[in-house]
């Protein structure tokens, strides 16, 4: 059937903020879907609360609503926009759940709006455990022995019928939230309890584990004419038992014969037909490694993280095709945009192997439980393409950007004995692969490792091959590192720095050798068809073979360096910036080239840039691409710290860094130089010094006094940043910090507990444009990424704002910034302004500021980088007049997924994503932001209050408000005494009873400020963790509490501020 004529306007539901289990992949799929629909002349209305996305750009859809994805707001949008159809299957679990809610509400039927693509009954069949089970039984597909339970008792009954381990999967949660594998009754009851609480319908599937079987996934597409194709199948290197988001995954499957491949392919098609899915779907199987026996683990009736991976792995644009199918097109009517001549009705054939490796946040959450299982913990992932498994795996490890220069991570386990290593790999952990490398290096055979880990021998022997080649090189030394051996090393995927390390020579020696031979990578094309047809998409990966697919051209090229995997502190916003930079370059007529390795993002979509290199962001890989392409220069300021960290190394190799110079970058990041500069400019900064040892640190604190803010220089997302109150903690910190960065010292600053203010500016070297100022709700000491931020400032005097503008201009000019920069200020109680830091690069807030001010900041910055001036682009200097609406950014956390992570807000960033609320007034905007971020203030009920001593005085006014709003206050002993003494009626709760009260749902809201110091006291920590597990809001900052209370009436009275689209806000068409 051709395009449907009755669909003119479609509402696309986005996936909201980035959280673990629902990340950038939905920006990628949502953006692709919007474009695919508009290509067909359909008017697209979009709702998504996540501002840091390409999807919410005004250019992506006809109408963009950055509003909360709640039933009320989505209904408002539907009533206002009257779409003919709703597309929910591209917005992850959030989109699907919203579709179910809308249906339940009745509005879709009432207004005769069609849910496009997969129907609701299909979604239910796939998502509802009981229905799914019955459906699979009906079509003779096996599933594991399981039961649906809604109470702990039912769960216990089931446990009697089978053996442990038992897997617990809550219904309707994403990323397996609340699930796990229990090996005994105690674990079982605990996980079951959590799962029942987290499932919105209190329904949990418990099933006998098939842990140890092969986990195989199929990505299937089906159109309205029942045509089905497999885009790709994937094999998890880690066997069943580990969430696929936390598994190392390869595409295509490696250990399946054609019989097994086709058996599961046929089953996939049978399943997608039975579920009547129209669009894309992901089916996971467990396959017995010793027979043809298999079971269906689960079906995702929508575009998923795996489909984003499959799209990038094959070049097949799943989201685009799914969107076209939703509006009636059939697979044989949709062009394959990779070849331009063939059609979407085919199955991609790969002539390379793809490896995906998860990126976990454990570098930031030291205390976190690093075991991995059925609950996803990774914040992001990297993908690498190679012509051998070894090459693609090692390239993927390189792409992780975990500063693991030595690819096999062997030194991580230097201290462990073989026995300890066996113990380590006996349960899956984030660094299992490195431990296996170590065991292999110690000569342990692959069979032994297979017996423990159940990882297929195919993969283990490949790992052994890597270790063997490493020792061959080590043995050969520089003396025998001949052409053949060096080429072998490159083909297996070793970086030059690792080879240098193995043969124990400086990197320079290896580089000379490489030039002498010479050996360089070639670049192959990802073309969906294994070379069978000529392809038009310039999507390349490096490998060491004979023929290069890149066609030489003499265009004026610019390389933009991407930001790699999504991690805490470096999220989707930098992908947003990279994409806009590339678009600006194309607009200016340059050939734009991007290098990146994150399969979840828009920037790695092959039609964004003129050329896409899917490769690691190491110095070596980037230089190879530069060598190949000979760009006129490289832009490093949009890819976050990953790319900025490359600036110096590239520059030393003679690469032209476009925009702000390497010198200026250093001037702003080198503390000593920065101090000198600020002194010259007369701009205050908190007193501070640089220390390389504890002794030095102690001397500094003697001088400036506690508390101090300590951090290593050159950090990402405030990693390892702390507020320190005494010598003891300082000493602990210094011991730890020297491991963090041997080359860079620790910075020690006086900690000023004041208001934090943030400015993003654009500078052409001599003129400065400041689109806006943001003020933070939380005081300095809470990482800016975790703070609620408000535009324009609500409490700053004109004088203060003028001073900030003046400092900003002075600094940018002095640093000769060309492009974007971000400055963070703190204001003490005397309204004195200090500079905390300057980042001569794009910041987290660029997408937000661009969207609310209407100034395309990255576009402008890119043009300045390429030599234009602000004046030429029609921009005046200084602070742009504020818009007549308010925008509030709120952080979103993923604590439910990360056991043992303390949730209190501090100088280390912990949030995984953000949302924005926009409205006419501050309170309305704040309310929307809070609602979008998932914070629900109960209308009434019990609020537990436990305040640290140092905060008690400051807390009084906030707690008085709380009391006046009619909440019943329960307090721990010290807080109780304090409140009673101040005339606030409340009830005392014994610390030992608190956890029980939470479990019994006697507490609806928690306010808990932690006692100072990194090591969390037992009570507060367990209080905060329990609140997460039982899904009760727990606020750890008094300022946040006050902000929430200031808009409590919206929650209490169920009052909802109106919705407007972005262009209505920007035109001022709001009431």
Q: Kindly list the residues in this chain that would bind other proteins in the complex (CB under 8 A).
A: 225-227, 229-230, 252-259, 261-262, 265-266, 269, 289-291, 330-332, 341-343, 345-353, 387-389, 456-458, 461-462, 465, 524, 529-534, 545-547, 549
Of the pair 346, 821, the CB lying nearest other proteins is at: 346
Question: Smallest distance from the beta carbon of 122 to other proteins, in angstroms?
Answer: 20
Of the pair 94, 528, the CB lying nearest other proteins is at: 528
Closest Cα partner for 967 from 994, 998, 1002, 1004?
1004
Question: Smallest distance from the beta carbon of 287 to other proteins, in angstroms?
Answer: 10
CA-CA-CA-CA dihedral for 822, 810, 656, 596, to nearest 10: 0
Question: Smallest distance from the beta carbon of 293 to other proteins, in angstroms?
Answer: 11
Q: Residues 6 or more apart from 568 whose CB is under 8 A from it?
A: 361, 364, 379, 717, 909, 910, 911, 912
Of the pair 530, 1015, the CB lying nearest other proteins is at: 530
Cα–Cα distance between 932 and 67 in angstroms, integer? 7
Of the pair 252, 633, the CB lying nearest other proteins is at: 252
Cα–Cα distance between 861 and 580 in angstroms, integer? 10
CA distances to 281, 300, 318 from 229, in Å: 11, 16, 11
Closest Cα partner for 512 from 476, 481, 548?
481
Of the pair 221, 835, the CB lying nearest other proteins is at: 221
Question: Smallest distance from the beta carbon of 480 to other proteins, in angstroms?
Answer: 19
Question: Smallest distance from the beta carbon of 115 to other proteins, in angstroms?
Answer: 25
Lookup result for tokens 């640190």:
697
Structure tokens at 327: 């509006």
Of the pair 197, 225, the CB lying nearest other proteins is at: 225
Of the pair 59, 226, the CB lying nearest other proteins is at: 226
3-class state of residue 269 by DSSP: helix
Question: Smallest distance from the beta carbon of 758 to other proteins, in angstroms?
Answer: 49
Question: Smallest distance from the beta carbon of 29 to other proteins, in angstroms?
Answer: 23
Question: Smallest distance from the beta carbon of 328 to other proteins, in angstroms?
Answer: 14
Of the pair 9, 454, the CB lying nearest other proteins is at: 454
Structure tokens at 119: 């129907």
CA distances to 406, 588, 837, 926 from 1050, in Å: 54, 47, 36, 10
Of the pair 31, 253, the CB lying nearest other proteins is at: 253
Question: Smallest distance from the beta carbon of 191 to other proteins, in angstroms?
Answer: 32
Question: Smallest distance from the beta carbon of 233 to other proteins, in angstroms?
Answer: 9
Lookup result for tokens 């890119």:
862
Question: Smallest distance from the beta carbon of 516 to other proteins, in angstroms?
Answer: 22
Question: Smallest distance from the beta carbon of 1043 to other proteins, in angstroms?
Answer: 55
Of the pair 346, 1005, the CB lying nearest other proteins is at: 346
Closest Cα partner for 161 from 148, 147, 175, 143?
147
Question: Smallest distance from the beta carbon of 279 to other proteins, in angstroms?
Answer: 16
- Check: CB of residue 785 under 8 Å from CB of residue 717: yes
Structure tokens at 923: 């309170």
Ranges of beta strands (E only) in 930-1050 are: 942-946, 968-971, 987-988, 1005-1008, 1034-1035
Question: Smallest distance from the beta carbon of 470 to other proteins, in angstroms?
Answer: 17
Q: How many helices (H) does the chain have, and how many strands (E)?
A: 38, 40
Question: Smallest distance from the beta carbon of 306 to other proteins, in angstroms?
Answer: 18
Residue-wise DSSP of 842-874: --TTHHHHHHHH---HHHHHHHHHTT--TTTTT
Of the pair 163, 290, the CB lying nearest other proteins is at: 290
Rounded to 5°, angle at Cα 17 from 16 and 18: 125
Helix 446-453 vs helix 432-441: crossing angle, to nearest 10: 150
Of the pair 133, 214, the CB lying nearest other proteins is at: 214
Bond into 252 cis (ω within 30): yes
Of the pair 131, 536, the CB lying nearest other proteins is at: 536
Closest Cα partner for 841 from 762, 787, 767, 745?
762
Structure tokens at 302: 């929508």
Of the pair 248, 789, the CB lying nearest other proteins is at: 248
CA-CA-CA-CA dihedral for 63, 67, 68, 73, to nearest 10: -70
Cα–Cα distance between 625 and 633 in angstroms, integer? 12
- The dihedral built from the CA positions of residue 1052, 1053, 1054 and 1060, taken in this order, carries a sign that is negative
Of the pair 349, 627, the CB lying nearest other proteins is at: 349
Cα–Cα distance between 873 and 573 in angstroms, integer? 24
Of the pair 95, 348, the CB lying nearest other proteins is at: 348
Of the pair 294, 1030, the CB lying nearest other proteins is at: 294
Q: Residues 6 or more apart from 630 whose CB is under 8 A from it?
A: 557
User: Kind of pairing, strands 114-115 and 85-87?
Assistant: parallel
CA-CA-CA-CA dihedral for 119, 124, 125, 126, to nearest 10: 100
Cα–Cα distance between 617 and 623 in angstroms, integer? 10
CA distances to 224, 324, 1020 from 277, in Å: 9, 14, 47
Closest Cα partner for 16 from 27, 32, 28?
27
3-class state of residue 523 by DSSP: strand
Question: Smallest distance from the beta carbon of 261 to other proteins, in angstroms?
Answer: 5
Question: Smallest distance from the beta carbon of 606 to other proteins, in angstroms?
Answer: 18
Question: Smallest distance from the beta carbon of 333 to other proteins, in angstroms?
Answer: 10
CB atoms closer than 10 angstroms to residue 531: 12
Of the pair 336, 1036, the CB lying nearest other proteins is at: 336
């Amino acid at each position: 059937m051709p395009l449907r004529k009755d669909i003119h306007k479609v509402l696309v539901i986005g996936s909201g903020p980035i959280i673990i289990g629902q990340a950038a992949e939905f920006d990628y799929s949502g953006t692709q879907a919007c474009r695919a629909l508009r290509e067909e002349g359909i008017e697209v209305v979009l709702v998504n609360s996540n501002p840091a996305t390409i999807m919410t750009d005004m250019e992506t859809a006809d109408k963009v609503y950055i509003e909360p994805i709640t039933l009320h707001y989505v209904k408002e949008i539907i009533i206002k926009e009257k779409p003919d159809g709703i597309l929910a299957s591209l917005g992850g679990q959030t989109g699907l759940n919203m579709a179910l809610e809308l249906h339940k509400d009745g509005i879709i039927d009432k207004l005769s709006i069609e849910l496009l693509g997969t129907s609701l009954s299909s979604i239910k069949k796939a998502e509802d455990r009981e229905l799914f089970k019955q459906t699979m039984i009906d079509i003779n597909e096996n599933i594991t022995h399981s039961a649906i339970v809604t109470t702990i008792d039912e769960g216990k009954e089931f446990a009697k019928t089978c053996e442990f381990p038992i897997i617990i999967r809550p219904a309707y949660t994403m990323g397996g939230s609340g699930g796990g594998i229990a090996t005994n009754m105690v674990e079982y009851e605990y996980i079951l309890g959590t799962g029942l609480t987290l499932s919105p319908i209190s329904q949990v599937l418990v099933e006998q584990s098939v842990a140890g079987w092969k986990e195989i996934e199929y990505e299937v597409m089906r159109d309205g004419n029942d045509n089905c194709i497999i885009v790709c199948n994937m094999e998890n290197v880690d066997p069943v038992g580990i969430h696929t988001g936390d598994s190392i995954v390869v595409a295509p499957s490696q250990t399946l014969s054609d019989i097994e491949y086709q058996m599961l392919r046929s089953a996939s098609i049978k399943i997608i037909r039975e579920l009547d899915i129209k669009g894309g779907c992901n089916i996971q199987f467990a396959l017995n490694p010793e027979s043809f026996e298999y079971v269906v683990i689960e079906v995702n009736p929508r575009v998923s993280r795996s489909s984003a991976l499959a799209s990038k792995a094959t070049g097949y644009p799943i989201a685009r095709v799914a969107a076209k199918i939703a509006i009636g097109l059939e697979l044989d009517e949709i062009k394959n945009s990779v070849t331009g001549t063939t059609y979407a009705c085919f199955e991609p054939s790969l002539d390379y192997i793809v490896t995906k490796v998860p990126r976990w946040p454990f570098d930031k959450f030291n205390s976190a439980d690093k075991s991995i299982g059925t609950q996803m913990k990774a914040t992001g992932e990297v993908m690498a393409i190679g012509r051998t498994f070894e090459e693609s795996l090692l390239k993927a490890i390189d792409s992780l950007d975990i500063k693991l220069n030595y690819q096999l991570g062997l030194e991580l386990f230097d201290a462990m004995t073989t026995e300890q290593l066996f113990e380590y790999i006996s349960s899956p952990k984030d660094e299992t692969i490195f431990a296996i490398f170590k065991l292999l290096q110690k000569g342990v055979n692959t069979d032994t490792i297979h017996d423990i880990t159940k990882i297929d021998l195919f993969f283990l022997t490949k790992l052994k091959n890597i270790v063997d080649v490493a020792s061959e090189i080590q043995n050969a030394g520089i003396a025998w590192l001949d052409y053949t051996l060096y080429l072998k090393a490159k083909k297996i995927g070793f970086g030059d720095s690792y080879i240098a390390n193995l043969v124990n020579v400086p990197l320079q020696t290896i580089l000379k050798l490489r030039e002498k031979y010479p050996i360089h990578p070639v670049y192959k094309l990802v073309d969906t068809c294994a070379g069978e047809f000529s392809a038009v998409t310039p999507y390349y990966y490096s490998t060491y073979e004979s023929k290069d697919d890149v066609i030489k051209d003499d265009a004026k090229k610019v390389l933009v360096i991407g930001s790699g995997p999504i991690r805490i502190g470096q999220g989707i916003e930098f992908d947003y910036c990279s994409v806009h930079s590339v678009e600006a370059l194309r607009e200016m007529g340059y050939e734009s080239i991007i290098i990146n390795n994150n399969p979840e993002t828009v920037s790695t979509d092959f039609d964004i840039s003129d050329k896409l290199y899917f490769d690691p962001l190491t110095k070596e890989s980037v230089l190879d691409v530069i060598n190949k392409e000979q760009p006129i220069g490289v832009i490093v300021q949009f890819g976050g710290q990953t790319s900025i960290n490359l600036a110096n190394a590239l520059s030393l190799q003679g690469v032209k860094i476009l925009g702000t110079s390497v010198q200026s970058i250093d001037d702003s990041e080198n503390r000593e130089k920065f101090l000198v500069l600020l002194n010259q400019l007369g701009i205050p900064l908190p007193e501070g010094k640089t220390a390389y040892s504890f002794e030095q640190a102690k001397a500094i604190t003697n001088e400036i006094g506690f508390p101090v803010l300590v951090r290593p220089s050159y950090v990402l997302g405030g990693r390892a940043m702390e507020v320190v109150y005494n010598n003891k903690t300082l000493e602990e910190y210094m011991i730890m910090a020297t491991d963090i960065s041997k080359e860079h010292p620790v910075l020690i600053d006086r900690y000023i507990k004041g208001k934090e203010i943030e400015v993003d500016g654009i500078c052409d070297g001599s003129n400065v444009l400041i689109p806006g100022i943001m003020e933070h709700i939380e005081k300095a000491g809470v990482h800016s990424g975790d703070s609620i931020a408000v535009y324009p400032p609500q409490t700053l005097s004109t004088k203060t704002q003028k001073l900030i503008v003046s400092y900003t201009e002075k600094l940018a000019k002095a640093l000769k910034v060309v492009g974007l920069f971000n400055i963070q200020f703190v204001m003490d109680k005397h309204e004195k302004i200090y500079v905390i830091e300057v980042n001569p690069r794009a910041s987290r807030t660029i997408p937000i500021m661009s969207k609310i001010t209407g100034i395309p900041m990255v576009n402008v910055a890119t043009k300045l980088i390429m030599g234009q001036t602000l004046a030429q682009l029609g921009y005046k200097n200084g602070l742009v007049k504020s818009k007549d609406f308010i925008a509030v950014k709120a952080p979103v956390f993923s604590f439910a997924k990360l056991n043992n992570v303390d949730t209190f807000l501090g100088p280390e960033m912990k949030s995984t994503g953000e949302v924005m609320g926009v409205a006419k007034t501050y309170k309305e905007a704040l309310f929307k932001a809070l609602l979008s971020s998932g914070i629900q203030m109960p209308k009434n009920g019990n609020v537990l209050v436990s305040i640290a001593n140092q905060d008690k005085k400051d807390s009084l006014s906030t707690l008085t408000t709380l009391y006046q709003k009619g909440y019943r206050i329960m307090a721990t002993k010290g807080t109780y005494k304090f409140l009673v003494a101040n005339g606030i009626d409340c009830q005392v709760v014994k610390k030992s009873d608190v956890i029980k009260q939470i479990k019994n749902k006697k507490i609806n809201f928690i306010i808990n400020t932690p006692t100072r110091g990194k090591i969390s006291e037992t009570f507060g920590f367990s209080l905060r963790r329990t609140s997460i597990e039982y899904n009760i809001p727990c606020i750890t900052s008094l300022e946040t509490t006050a902000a929430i209370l200031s808009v409590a009436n919206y929650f209490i009275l169920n009052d909802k501020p109106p919705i407007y689209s972005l262009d209505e806000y920007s035109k001022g068409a709001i009431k």
